[in-house]
Structures are given as C-alpha cells and as structure tokens.
Amino acid sequence: MLNLLFFFSFSILVLASLPLWFTAIKEKQRTGALMESRPEARSPLGLLDVVVMFFFWLVGQAASISLIALIFGVGIEELSKASGETLSWATILIASGQMVATLVAVGVLLIRYRQLSIIGWQPQNFRGDLRIGLMAFAMVVPSILFLQWLLVQVFAYQHPTMELLEKNANGLTLLATWFSAVIVAPICEEVFFRGVLQSWLQRVGGGISDLVLTGGWDSPSNSVAVTVGVPMPTDSSSTGGSTTNKTCDSPGSLIGKHETADSIESSWTSNAILPILITSALFGLAHSGQGPAPIPLFVFGIVLGYLFRRTGSIVPCIALHMLLNAFSMFWFTLQVFLSEPDPSAILEPVRGVIGIP
C-alpha cells in the first residue's frame, strides 16, 4: 500500500512537471536559456572568505562534539559507538552547532561587507524565489529519484541519519533527523556551496588578483560586471572618454562575462559552466561514504548552481533543497513507522537524496 501511495505521488510530480518543462523549453527557444537571468552584482568575496566559512564549519562541528562528550560524560572516541537517545541528542547538537557556526560566519561577512546580498540573500524577491524553488522541485525530483533508483540496484546505500531513524523509531529521533536533514543541512550547505563558494568561483572568472584572494570590492573604475544577456553599462570615465557597451556572446549562456574596462576578456568565459561544475563536484564529494549518493547529488548540485547563477539568490536553492529532503524524509519516515524496510521496495530511492554531511 505504501509503495502504491509513493508511486501515485511520484506520478503526480511527473504530470505537474510536464507543463513546467514545456514552458521552460519555449523560453529556451525564445531567449536561449531555460529561465530569465537577473542583473548580476559584483561579488567582493575572496578565497580568504571561503576559508573562513569552512573554518567556522569545522570549529562548529568540533565544538558540538566536545560539548556532547562533556554532557554525556564520555570520551569523544566513544561517541561513534553511541546509540538510542544519546545518538539522537548528539545529532541535534551537532546540527545546531553547524547552524550557529554558519550564522557566525555569515555575521563576519556582514561586518566586513555590510550587505547580505553578497551571498545571495535577496528579500525583495523572496516570494518569487520560493515559487522558483517549488517549480524546480516538481521539474527535477522525478529525474533525481529515478537516477538514484538505478544506482541503488548496483550499489548499497548507507546514511547515518536515516539509519538512526530506522533503528530508533521514536519521537526524539524523528525530531533529530528532520531537524538535521530538512532545516539545517539545506540552509548551511546552500550558504556555503552556492552563496560563498560559487560566488567566489564566479568572481575568479574575471582573473586572479589580490582582491580575488583576500576579498574586497573592486573599484568601479577598473572592473565592470556583465549581466547574462544584458548590455554592459556605458562607462566613459574609465576608458579615457571611449564608450564600453558589450553584451555576452550568448544570451542563454550560464555565466556572463566579467571584463575590465579596457575590454580584456577572461578565458574563463569559454568554460562558463566551470564554477557550477566545481561546486557541484565538491557538493557531491562532501557526501562520500553514502554509497552512490554523490552521483545524484552532483546532478542535483548542477540544478542548484544553475538556479543560483540565473537568479543570484540562495532562496530558491534552499527551498528546492528543503523540499527534496522533506519529500525523502516524509516517505522514509512512513516506511519506518508503517512497514518493514525492504531494500527491493520502490521507496528505496528516497534513501539516497538527503543532502546532509
């Protein structure tokens, strides 16, 4: 019965995605891209900012583990053998530590650059971005789940959070797994992978400089960002009276050009998708040890990267990430509480798309 309900919901998603894909293909034929692109803002982020964000991640996790060991009076090495209530509380505290560390790191960036738009926070587009995330969910989830289904026919899948719920089906464990997978993971991972890492990699497209390494705003007089498919602003002050007004070679390209005022083009533009591919590869590798999960998560990362590149906002990325994890956790929770786990069941694909560390 549960498998039948899952198949029914999966079919509903497929049917809902058809008109959305039809509209996207029509947009592709009309403009050369699946969706419109918003004006691109310069990023002040440097490699130093990426390192600082990653450092806070490590500190947050280490501090959480130390706190857990102190609370339960056990050695850190013994936590890996914990089970039951201890493991549930450990999951909650580690996720909380990750969230606090991410917020502290974002606070550091806010103090340094005075605006959260540098990591893709665009409150003025919040409702529209949620809508984009919802539509993307309907469009990509069937393909991601089908890919995962193919992979689990060959490779065994393991995930500590899902195994925790599977072995300890109670309210505390349910809270711990949902909090970690549906709330914390999407927010923290999208802030880091898309908001910080991909933003920086896109800036690298303008060439390596001291600011690209240390961070800081480019001077408007020597660097101008180009919007995908939108003409560059006319700037006569930095070219000795000459006018610069260029557009991207391809309005539908994923990444717009970043040119200096004397029109020197970066060779990066010939490999415009590289920031998305690199970020997606690292996103998938971050989930190593979970069987074939890095493969569908790499594909999922490309979708997230594309959304971030076209909108400049992490809100649709977080929304899509949350929806996918919630969909997976919903059906897995029903499977745990209402039926015996069956590796051959049609529900098995949902086990491999939870994007948590």
| Tokens of residue 66, six digits | 């130390």
227-246 pLDDT, tens digit per residue, is 333 333 333 333 344 433 43
- Res 277: pLDDT: 95
Q: Residue 98 falls within a domain, yes or no?
A: no
- Res 6: pLDDT: 84
Q: Residue 75 falls within a domain, yes or no?
A: no
Q: Residue 131 falls within a domain, yes or no?
A: yes
The whole-model pTM stands at: 0.81
Residue 8, helix vs strand vs coil: helix
Cβ atoms of 297 and 353 within 8 Å: the answer is: yes
Q: Residue 348 falls within a domain, yes or no?
A: yes
Q: In the predicted model, what is the mean pLDDT of residues 76-96? A: 78
| Separation between Cα atoms, residue 346 and residue 331, nearest integer Å | 11
Domain range enclosing 340: 2-45+127-352
Region at 120 (left for phi over 0; alpha for psi -120 to 50; beta for the rest): left
Residue type, 213: L
Number of Cβ atoms within 10 Å of the Cβ of 18: 11
Q: Residue 190 falls within a domain, yes or no?
A: yes
Structural domain tally of the chain?
1
Q: Average pLDDT of the chain? A: 78
Q: Residue 170 falls within a domain, yes or no?
A: yes
318-347 pLDDT, tens digit per residue, is 999 999 999 988 988 888 887 655 544 444
Q: Residue 95 falls within a domain, yes or no?
A: no
pLDDT > 60? residue 9: yes
Backbone angles phi, psi at 124, to 5 degrees: -70, -20
